[in-house]
Structure 1
Amino acid sequence: MKVRPLAASAVALLAGLLTVSLTSVPAYAIEDGGVSAAAATASPGSVLEQAPAPGALAALGIAPADATATRVLYASTGVRGEATPVSGLVIVPKTPWRGPGERPLVAVSPGTQGLDDRCAASRLIESGRLNDGTWIKQFHTAGYAIAMTDYEGLGTPGDHPYADNVVLGHNALDVVRAARQLGVSVTAPVFLQGFSEGGGATAGALELAPSYAPELPIAGGHATAPTGDLTAIGVRRGPDVYRPLLLLAVGVLDDDAPASGCPPVGLPRGLTDPEAFGPTATATPEPPPTSRSRIEVPFAVTAAWADEIVPLRSVKEAAKQWCARGSRIVYSTSWAPSHLASGYEGGGQAVRFFGDVLRGKSFESTCDWLF
């Protein structure tokens, strides 16, 4: 897998969005071969292949008697508008739902954790090192079904369109369609949640849903530190261990270099010496596709004062743009001490927010004071 570059100069800006995974990843249970041809004639959300994922349940501390976990390959809409296979994970509780109405589904869009296909979230979760696993467990405890996308090009052939919120939004919506073929009711309310790159994917999905997936009964969304304007992401000054992986991502290193993998596993000798690559230059990346169109459901957006990766000001600016289109934004600023810490705090906020939506709580938009 090679990340589809935004621009060669974007290397420095992408560095902080990669979270280190320290363990190897178990073999994948679904074969990728031949699925591209099958996806070409399949409608978005169609399940192409599926396999049990007991390792995911074990890593999350969920008993097999309490839920089923299924890895899926499903069809989605790719970066050029073509049909493409995308992998993901669906977890459906077996225990009775005790909330109002039908058991809801949460579509989790994960944050970035590596460049190699082995770093795809549905694979990485079995190592116990998937950051998003913490809030996935919270959603399961609350009784929700969960559908998580790996995104185009992560776990499947082809390039990963990093932070392209249109493509990632398609992927997030289509994993919901796939989950509805795996035991989730087609009339159950759907929520969308994501952190960092996943926050951008969630926003993209909410914007696209009325036209791309109008049949989905989406009830609300929650995004923590959503990526949208990469030009606002703080430039990392000075050398760091991420640089060789980022050089691989934008094509400076050959695809066959053994630097591929979940960092720092698989770094070739010499590439762990960041001085070999010189100082990080100030970058001006191309902005990712985003429309900032109206979002039709309650959408909670949170950012941290101390976020060193996705600045508070960039998240507030995105929220203002959604407000200007008539969206109902519930914005909050957290005291989390870092980017990653904001994700853990945001996962708990999402569980509470979705519960309030299900109970019919009325939300006051924060758009007035954002302006």
Structure 2
Amino acid sequence: MKHPSVRGCSAIVLAAVLTFGSGAVAQAASAPATTPATTANPLDFYITPASLPANNGDLVRTEPSVFYVDPLKTIRAQASVQRIMYRSVNSSGVPVAVTGTVMVPYAAWTGSGPRPLVSYAPGTQGQGDQCAPSRAMATGEEYEGIFIAGLLARGYSVAVTDYEGLGTAGSHTYMARESQAHAVLDATRAAQRLGNPQIVPGGPVALAGYSQGGGASAAAVELAPQYAPELNLKGAYAGAVPADLPAVGRNLDGGLYTGFLLYAVTGMGAAGGLDLSPHLNAAGRAKLAATDNECTLQSIASSGFLNTAQLTVSGQKLSSLLELPELKTVIAAQKIGNGRAPQVPVLLSHSVLDDVIPYDQGRQLAKRWCGAGSSVYFDVTAGATHIGGYAAAIPQAFIFLERRFSNRSAVSNCWLYG
């Protein structure tokens, strides 16, 4: 296990999301007073067993958990909450154990048909094991908790993956397209195999996520027809998708979110089985090792506006490593919309003022998917910065999910991008 560190919530994010999610908070305010069973060491749950079940999505173990929406633990979600460990497979086809959380609202589903399930892909959490959403949700420190509570308030069951290596053994393969897609889809399968009568196998499913989660949702909706064809997938919301990593890396280098580039160097190296340490000097190796134990806010504070040329043997910026021949092949495999396209409707959202993932990433992905015949609505917002884009996307995301689960016709603006 990586050592614990401070994890916090961004007041800016919470304030922005609360503007759109006050109903979710109100419905989450009062929950039964029961507490989940605990083990002698809560971290024992995350230890990977010597052998895994036979099929992707099969459950390894489960335990009761809890979801607090706020760090003061004053708002507890009105839902049954289970922490899960399930089998998935990484980008190299190797079976891995992944953890996550499954939640079912206590309130009866009043819509038509079975209760829908949303498989939610979290945004950037960090690289340390303590950053796993299943741990943060139990302590009220998951910065996307308000949006997740909004899904529950609308009556949907929710599965939230921790991704490969976040909480469990090994490195978190940050931004590894296939690994993240598999983790999202297998979390859906695992939720349907829990035996909860409110999550019906074959019931309606949608995917959702923003930023790293937008990339995971987009990758998952592309792969679903081949990887998980049995899922009754209705659609996917994907916000601020980092669809082409080299451009994102160059944009991050030296800015406030330089820590995310450090995550990507570790994640891509792990996904490709590459040792990049010969390209780093002593300061670079020490910085990468330290960042591997940090969560998002800690990395923003420790690496914001860092001159990454001080970390490399060549004296070039860290983003230059993305052009190394051995890493370039790995990076190229992460491109979303590269010969693959969704077979269900998708809502893409991106702010023209995004300071983390350039707006053109979303526009070009919309063009690629529309050109392949997919049903895409590209929602262009003017949310200030990456955080503002997150908040600005929320109303359309909820409307999109409601329309997909009520089987209303999909809206597409591909005529603008096809």
TM-score, structure 1 length as denominator? 0.83
1:324 to 332, 353, 371: 371
Moved more, 307-316 or 336-345: 336-345
Classify 1:291/1:346 alpha carbon distance in 2 versus 1 (closer, same or farther; 3 Å): closer
Query: Residues of 2 paired with 1:343 and 1:115: CA distance?
Result: 21
Classify 1:351/1:276 alpha carbon distance in 2 versus 1 (closer, same or farther; 3 Å): closer
Q: Does residue 246 in structure 1 map to residue 262 in structure 2?
A: yes
**Could you report, residue by residue, the CA deviation over 1:101-159 in whole angstroms, capped at 9, with x for unpaired residues?**
11100000001121101111111223433222121011011000000111101111112
| Structure 1: gaps (5+ residues) | 3-19
Q: Does residue 260 in structure 1 map to residue 260 in structure 2?
A: no
Classify 1:244/1:107 alpha carbon distance in 2 versus 1 (closer, same or farther; 3 Å): closer
Q: Report the alpha carbon displacement of residue 277 of structure 1 after superposing the two structures with TM.
A: 6.9
Query: Residues of 2 paired with 1:70 and 1:54: CA distance?
Result: 8
Classify 1:21/1:95 alpha carbon distance in 2 versus 1 (closer, same or farther; 3 Å): same
More helix by share: 2
Q: Does residue 235 in structure 1 map to residue 240 in structure 2?
A: no
CA contact (8 A) 1:165 1:204 kept: yes
1:346 to 366, 375, 393: 393
Classify 1:61/1:100 alpha carbon distance in 2 versus 1 (closer, same or farther; 3 Å): farther
Q: Report the alpha carbon displacement of residue 295 of structure 1 after superposing the two structures with TM.
A: 0.8
Query: Residues of 1 paired with 2:307 and 2:413: CA distance?
Result: 46
**Could you report, residue by residue, the CA deviation over 1:256-305 in whole angstroms, capped at 9, with x for unpaired residues?**
6587232565999x989957974982725233524521211110001001
Q: SS of the residue aligned with 1:223?
A: strand
**Could you report, residue by residue, the CA deviation over 1:169-199 in whole angstroms, capped at 9, with x for unpaired residues?**
1110000011012211112100000111111
**Could you report, residue by residue, the CA deviation over 1:189-228 in whole angstroms, capped at 9, with x for unpaired residues?**
0000011111111111111111111111001110110111
Letter aligned with residue 261 of structure 1: E
Counting only pairs closer than 5 Å after superposition, residues 148-167 of structure 1 correspond to structure 2 as 148-167=160-179
Q: Report the alpha carbon displacement of residue 364 of structure 1 after superposing the two structures with TM.
A: 3.3
Letter aligned with residue 110 of structure 1: P
Classify 1:298/1:38 alpha carbon distance in 2 versus 1 (closer, same or farther; 3 Å): same
1:358 to 397, 405, 410: 405
CA contact (8 A) 1:228 1:288 kept: no
Counting only pairs closer than 5 Å after superposition, residues 1-371 of structure 1 correspond to structure 2 as 21-22=7-8, 28=42, 30-35=44-49, 37-39=50-52, 41-56=53-68, 63=76, 66-182=78-194, 183=196, 184-233=199-248, 235-236=251-252, 238=254, 243=259, 246=262, 249=266, 252-253=284-285, 257=290, 260-262=293-295, 274=306, 278=310, 281=317, 283-284=319-320, 285=322, 286-290=331-335, 292=337, 293-371=340-418
Classify 1:230/1:214 alpha carbon distance in 2 versus 1 (closer, same or farther; 3 Å): same
Percent identity, please.
31
- The one of the two structures with greater contact order (alpha-carbon pairs below 8 A, sep at least 6) is 1
Q: SS of the residue aligned with 2:379?
A: strand
Q: SS of the residue aligned with 1:54?
A: coil
CA contact (8 A) 1:134 1:344 kept: no
Q: Report the alpha carbon displacement of residue 242 of structure 1 after superposing the two structures with TM.
A: 5.1
Query: Residues of 1 paired with 2:8 and 2:346: CA distance?
Result: 34
| Equivalence for 1:5 | none
The number of aligned residues is 348
Classify 1:311/1:267 alpha carbon distance in 2 versus 1 (closer, same or farther; 3 Å): closer
Query: Residues of 2 paired with 1:232 and 1:350: CA distance?
Result: 26
Q: Report the alpha carbon displacement of residue 350 of structure 1 after superposing the two structures with TM.
A: 1.7
TM-score, structure 2 length as denominator? 0.74
Letter aligned with residue 76 of structure 1: S
Query: Residues of 2 paired with 1:369 and 1:272: CA distance?
Result: 37
CA contact (8 A) 1:229 1:288 kept: no
Classify 1:30/1:108 alpha carbon distance in 2 versus 1 (closer, same or farther; 3 Å): farther
Letter aligned with residue 152 of structure 2: H
| Structure 2: gaps (5+ residues) | 10-37, 267-275, 278-283, 323-330
CA contact (8 A) 1:336 1:342 kept: yes
Q: SS of the residue aligned with 2:51?
A: helix
Letter aligned with residue 217 of structure 2: T
